[in-house]
Structure 1
Amino acid sequence: MSNPIDEYLDHVYRAARTVPGEQVLAAARALAEAHSRGATVFLLCPPDDGESVGHLANELQWGVAAGSCRFHLERLFGTPGQAAGWRPDWAYEDVYVQQLRGRVSPGDVLLVISRRGRSLGMVRALEAARRSGATTVVMVGFDGGTIKDLADICLHVQSDRLEQVEDVQMMLAHMLSSALRDLIATPHQAETACTSAPGQR
């Protein structure tokens, strides 16, 4: 008789191995470069999964930058309640792009976390970020959806099991945190980031 726990762990392992390590390192380097310039990292996640972006934000702020300047982070929100408050000025699919308008600059990073990658709101935000010269980093599962092709760096978890996609995306947050601790290590980098205020880039 098969052990369901072992089977689950096997699925998670196989899903994790579908994400190339060099892509994870590329994402970490993009974030480290943004940190060194004092650029802004925008975090976007579906409203029904705010815990993932919250966890990643905590990793970047508290797990990475101890002893150095913190990341300049901005979370893009799009809960149904917030969207209702913004109507009739914004259509729901414009909730994210409107929050980027006039704020995203060349050298910034937009990091999107999605399970299936089919949100029109995310598509529009990624398109706007690319037009503004920002680097786009995407974490996505299943077949990558529409947003996969809008990513400069794509961390694609090739699994059609929602739980495994979520598990691996949490692992990716920890991998990024671990890599960034090594990349953001020199006093010069920390001093540069702390004296490069957004808007003065």
Structure 2
Amino acid sequence: MDYKKDIQNYIELEIEVLRKLDVDQINKALNLLDETRLRKGRIYICGNGGSAATASHFQNDFNKGVSEYIDIPFRFHCLNDNVATLMAIANDIGYEEVFRFQLRGNLEPGDILVAISGSGNSPNVIHAVEYAKSLGNQIIGLTGYTGGKLKELSDISLHAPVMSMQVTEDIHMIFDHLMMSVFYKYLCGKEHLRRE
């Protein structure tokens, strides 16, 4: 089989979406993340499916990757990463509560929530966002498609304007690595991370 045309089409779609990204919103996200770091606030992050893996990847890149080189570290906390807690909440209370329940009693003034949902309508993500907003905490939302409810609720919207879950999730990882690269330069004095 010759897949080259499909490969090229996918690459061209990625490039098209990248050119449409809102640089002002990315800049606002960088500033809010750094302000939260400096005041030693927590940055909670969550998502479903592939977005759960993205949330874990964000936590790794900021808590270890960037924080290794700075005096005041980022304090990311991924709500996806304790499987026992997730399963207990899903079984005993309901899957739509797996993130909100973990925020209850933990979310403090000055903390923020990074919420990831390709469709923008994942009920468990939306419940967590609505809870955080009810307490006055700010939301950075990562979305695709038309953005759904999450885009509307977000204080800062990192939106991938594309009707493809695969490209949406690719762009969400680019948001992570883009912001990480900027912080390497401005916080760590490094152009990029290099391991020998």
User: Aligned residue for 1:28?
Assistant: 30
Hey, what's the Cα distance between the residues in 2 that align with 1:153 and 1:87?
Answer: 28
Contact 1:42 1:109 in 2 (8 A): yes
Q: CA 1:70–1:78 in 2, change beyond 3 Å: closer, same or farther? A: closer
Q: CA deviation at 1:173?
A: 0.6
The question of 1:150 aligning with 2:148 is answered no
What is the deviation of 1:155?
Answer: 0.6
**One-letter identity of the residue aligned with 1:107:** G
Corresponding residue number in structure 1 for 2:67: 65
Q: Deviations over 1:165-188 (max 9, x none)?
A: 1111111111111222345359xx
Does 2:137 match 1:112? no
Match of 1:98 in 2: 101
Offset of residue 6 of structure 1 = 2.2
The Cα of 1:55 is off from its aligned counterpart by 1.4
Return the offset for 1:161.
Answer: 1.4
- C-alpha deviation, 1:61, in angstroms: 1.8
Cα distance per residue 1:102-139 (max 9 Å; x no partner): 11122111001111111111111111111222110011
Task: Give the RMSD, CA atoms, in angstroms.
Answer: 2.4
5 Å-filtered alignment, 1:1-201, equals 3-47=5-49, 49-68=51-70, 69-77=72-80, 82-86=85-89, 89-184=92-187
TM-score by structure 1 length?
0.83
Q: Which secondary structure state, in structure 2, belongs to the residue aligned with residue 146 of structure 1?
A: helix
Quote the Cα distance in structure 2 between the aligned partners of 1:175 and 1:87.
33
Preserved CA contact (<8 Å) 1:138 1:148: yes
Gaps of 5+ in 1: 187-201
Instruction: State the shift of 1:164 in Å.
Output: 1.1
| TM-aligned CA distance change 1:82 to 1:101, over 3 Å | closer
Query: Compared with structure 1, are the counterparts of its residues 128 and 63 closer, same or farther at alpha carbon in structure 2 (3 Å cutoff)?
Result: same
Amino acid at match of 2:140: V
Spell out, residue by residue over 1:6-56, the C-alpha distance to the aligned partner (whole angstroms, 9 max, x if none). 221110011122221111111011000010010000011114543211211
State the distance in 2 between where 1:151 and 1:84 align. Answer: 27
Q: 1:182 to 1:145 in 2, by over 3 A?
A: same
CA contact (8 A) 1:34 1:40 kept: yes
Given the superposition, is the C-alpha separation of residues 43 and 142 from structure 1 closer, same or farther in structure 2, using an over 3 Å criterion?
same
CA contact (8 A) 2:56 2:80 kept: no
The 1:88/1:11 distance shift into structure 2, 3 A limit, reads: closer
* TM-score of the superposed pair, with normalisation by structure 2: 0.84
**Relative contact order, CA 8 A, sep 6+: which one is greater?**
1
**1:116 counterpart letter in structure 2:** S
How many residues are matched? 186
Q: Any runs of at least 4 consecutive aligned residues in structure 1 with deviations exceeding 4 A, and if so which?
A: 78-84
List gaps (5 residues or longer) in structure 2.
Answer: 190-196
Report deviation, 1:148.
Answer: 1.0
Kindly tell me: are residues 6 and 152 of structure 1, through their superposed partners in 2, closer, same or farther at Cα, counting changes over 3 Å? Answer: same
